[in-house]
């Protein structure tokens, strides 16, 4: 790369940006200001200046730019201003594609996915307007297409969980390709353009992808019907493959799903109530886990109460929304347990972090999707972020969920 290349690239980018804005004025760079011509003003030797001037002259001869020179100098070589004359010619001179060409290529690459995943059209629209999505421009269309292929593949058979790297090899011949596609997988799973600092494992789990096999952990009383055989629940907990669960015969009238493993173990150690069933979601519950959840709920009486306990953050409320959707398949609602800023002890909320505006809005949005309007309102009144490990289930002022009436 010669010294003039970065400057010419900058001129082309500004020209394309002006074109996207519909600005008809010619785009130019003054060569006397450090903000626009730092490479030129930094030239220290005659050889460097000659090389720079030579490339500018070649671009000018190609019809890509026009150049204003200082004719008062003896050599008439001092550059005063460079103006974009033909964006296509400058792109060809630099060996790059114009924005319009990249958009056309991206549209072709993603044409087969816009109906299946409407968010893809929103991505293309952002790229057409010159905006980046997940820090990438239209050159990432191939990655988004690969991610769409993964999501569609997982949706074809969601009855079992798959090992992340093994599935990556099966689909791409590369054990780490799926991990590299995570931002695009997250976009397709959530349907949201904006990126968040979410747990990558949540995205994988939502598709039924795990780094290692993840059992469904249960704590309570009753018998599982598991591949045609009856298996009694044992204390403190029992772990089974979620895809094998057929039904549950239990005296439980309360079900509490728990996001994090440490909190599940602590709750299982604390409670011995026969009418309370504890479930570990494994973080984001996979499609196979959600299918097992629906089967477990099908055996409960109509007045059984469902609760969920997770982190008070974007990921926690996103998990709650996914669980609420699964519970709704059985005609039941899901209640929050210790996930509202309005119900937590003062000494607990005092240690909580305060989310920024974008994160808070995302938390509220997922809480509303879970059906938790009051929780969303409480977040507005008292914005907090809190991991569930900050709550000890054994505390008297926290307690475990109470039995429903009737």
Q: What does the pLDDT look like over 11-39, one tens digit per residue? A: 999 999 898 888 889 999 999 888 889 98
Burial call 279-316: b when 16+ CB within 10 Å, e when fewer: bbbbbbbbbbbbbbbbbbbebbeeebbbbbbbbbbbbb
Asked if omega into 337 is within 30° of 0 (cis), the reply is no
**Residue 397 confidence class, pLDDT cut points 50, 70, 90:** low
Q: Which CATH architecture has domain 216-390?
A: 3-Layer(aba) Sandwich (3.40)
User: Please, is 94 exposed, middle or buried when counting C-beta atoms within 10 Å of its C-beta (0-12, 13-18, 19+)?
Assistant: middle
**Residue 278 confidence class, pLDDT cut points 50, 70, 90:** very high
Query: Which pLDDT score is estimated for 403?
Result: 59
Query: Which pLDDT score is estimated for 197?
Result: 62
Distance CA 141, CA 359 (A): 27
**221 pLDDT more than 60:** yes
More confident position, 375 or 78: 375
Query: Which pLDDT score is estimated for 194?
Result: 84
Query: Which pLDDT score is estimated for 396?
Result: 52
**76 pLDDT more than 70:** no
Structure tokens given for 216: 């469904």
Query: Which pLDDT score is estimated for 400?
Result: 65
Rounded to a whole number of angstroms, the distance between the first and last alpha carbons of the chain is: 78
If you average pLDDT over residues 189-215, what whole number do you get? 88
User: Domain coordinates of the chain in residue numbers?
Assistant: 5-94, 99-210, 216-390
Percentage of the chain exceeding pLDDT 70: 95
Distance CA 191, CA 185 (A): 10
If you average pLDDT over residues 231-257, what whole number do you get? 93
**Residue 391 confidence class, pLDDT cut points 50, 70, 90:** confident
**343 pLDDT more than 90:** no
Cβ neighbours of 134 (radius 10 Å): 17
The model's pLDDT over 87-130, given as tens digits with 9 standing for 90+, comes to 999 999 999 989 999 999 999 999 999 999 999 999 999 999 98
If you average pLDDT over residues 224-231, what whole number do you get? 90
Query: Which pLDDT score is estimated for 404?
Result: 57
- Distance from chain centroid for Cα 29: 38
The model's pLDDT over 130-172, given as tens digits with 9 standing for 90+, comes to 899 999 999 999 999 999 999 999 999 888 889 999 999 999 9
Query: Which pLDDT score is estimated for 271?
Result: 84
Residues 6+ apart with CB under 8 A from 1: none
**218 pLDDT more than 90:** yes
Structure tokens given for 81: 């201003």
**Residue 402 confidence class, pLDDT cut points 50, 70, 90:** low
If you average pLDDT over residues 57-71, what whole number do you get? 92
**Residue 44 confidence class, pLDDT cut points 50, 70, 90:** confident
Distance CA 274, CA 188 (A): 41
Relative orientation angle of helices 141-156 and 119-128, to the nearest 10 degrees: 180
* 3-class secondary structure, 298: helix
Q: What is the rounded average pLDDT for all residues in the chain?
A: 91
DSSP calls for 313-356: SHHHHHHHHHHHHHHHTTT---EESS--TTTS-HHHHTT-B---
More confident position, 279 or 1: 279
The pTM assigned to this predicted structure is 0.78
**Residue 3 confidence class, pLDDT cut points 50, 70, 90:** confident
More confident position, 77 or 16: 16
């Amino acid at each position: 790369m010669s010294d003039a290349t970065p400057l010419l690239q900058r001129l082309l980018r500004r020209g394309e940006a002006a074109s996207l804005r519909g600005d008809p004025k010619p785009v130019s760079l003054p060569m006397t200001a450090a903000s626009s011509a730092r490479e030129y003003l930094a030239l220290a030797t005659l050889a460097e200046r000659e090389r720079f001037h030579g490339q500018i002259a070649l671009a000018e001869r190609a019809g890509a730019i026009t150049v204003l020179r200082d004719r008062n100098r003896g050599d008439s070589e001092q550059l005063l201003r460079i103006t974009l004359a033909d964006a296509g010619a400058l792109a060809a001179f630099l060996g790059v594609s114009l924005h319009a060409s990249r958009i056309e290529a991206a549209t072709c690459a993603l044409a087969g996915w816009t109906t299946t995943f409407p968010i893809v059209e929103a991505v293309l629209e952002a790229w057409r307007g010159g905006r980046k999505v997940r820090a990438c421009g239209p050159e990432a269309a191939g990655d988004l297409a690969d991610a769409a292929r993964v999501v569609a593949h997982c949706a074809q058979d969601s009855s079992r969980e798959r090992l992340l790297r093994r599935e990556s090899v099966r689909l791409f011949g590369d054990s780490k390709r799926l991990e590299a596609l995570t931002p695009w997988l997250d976009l397709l799973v959530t349907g949201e353009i904006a990126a968040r600092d979410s747990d990558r494992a949540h995205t994988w789990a939502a598709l039924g992808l795990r780094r290692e096999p993840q059992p469904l952990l249960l704590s309570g009383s009753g018998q599982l019907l598991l591949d045609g055989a009856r298996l009694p629940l044992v204390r403190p907990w029992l772990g089974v493959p979620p895809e094998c669960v057929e039904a549950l015969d239990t005296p439980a009238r309360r079900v509490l799903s728990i996001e994090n493993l440490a909190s599940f173990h602590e709750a299982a150690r604390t409670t011995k109530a026969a009418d309370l069933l504890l479930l570990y979601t494994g973080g984001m519950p996979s499609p196979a886990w959600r299918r097992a959840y629906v089967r477990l709920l099908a055996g409960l009486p109509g007045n059984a109460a469902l609760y969920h306990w997770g982190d008070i953050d974007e990921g926690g409320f996103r998990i709650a929304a996914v669980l609420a959707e699964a519970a709704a398949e059985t005609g039941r609602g899901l209640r929050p347990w210790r996930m509202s800023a309005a119900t937590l002890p003062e000494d607990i909320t005092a240690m909580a972090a305060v989310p920024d505006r974008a994160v808070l809005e995302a938390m509220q949005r997922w809480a509303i999707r879970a059906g938790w309007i009051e929780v969303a309102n409480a977040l507005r009144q008292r914005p907090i972020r809190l991991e569930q490990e900050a709550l000890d289930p054994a505390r008297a002022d926290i307690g475990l969920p109470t039995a429903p009436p009737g």
